[in-house]
Amino acid sequence: MKFLDLAKVYIRSGAGGGGAVSFRREKYIEYGGPDGGDGGKGGSVIIEAVEGLNTLIDFRYQQHFFAKNGQPGMGKQRTGKDGDDIVLRVPVGTEVLDEDEETLIAELMEVGERIVLARGGNGGFGNLHFKTATNQAPRRANPGQPGVERTIWLRLKLIADAGLLGLPNAGKSTFLSATSNARPKIADYPFTTLHPNLGVVGVDGAEFVVADIPGLIAGAHEGRGIGDRFLGHVERCSVLLHLVDGTSETIAEDYRVIIGELEAYGGHLADKPRITALNKIDALDDEERAEAKATLEAETGGAVFMMSGVSREGLTEVLRALRAEISEDKLRQKKADDEDEGAWHP
- The rounded distance, in Å, linking the Cα atoms of 119 and 86 is 11
Domains parsed from the chain with CATH numbers: 1-156 (2.70.210.12), 162-333 (3.40.50.300)
Query: pLDDT by residue (tens digit) across 302-346?
Result: 888 898 888 888 888 988 888 888 876 566 554 444 444 444 444
Q: Is the pLDDT of residue 86 over 60?
A: yes
Alpha helices in 113-207 (DSSP H): 172-179
Res. 215 pLDDT band, cuts 50 70 90: low
Q: Is the pLDDT of residue 1 over 90?
A: no
- The rounded distance, in Å, linking the Cα atoms of 338 and 265 is 46
Average pLDDT, the chain: 83
- The rounded distance, in Å, linking the Cα atoms of 292 and 282 is 13
User: What per-residue confidence (pLDDT) applies to 139?
Assistant: 92
User: What per-residue confidence (pLDDT) applies to 229?
Assistant: 62
Give the torsion through C-alpha atoms of 281, 286, 289, 291, to 10 deg: -160
User: What per-residue confidence (pLDDT) applies to 189?
Assistant: 43
182-192 burial by CB neighbour count: b if 16+ within 10 A, else e? bebeeeeeeeb
Q: Is the pLDDT of residue 278 over 80?
A: yes
Q: What is the pTM of this model?
A: 0.72
CA distances from 190 to 41, 167, 168, 185, 186 (A): 58, 11, 8, 12, 10
User: What per-residue confidence (pLDDT) applies to 182?
Assistant: 59
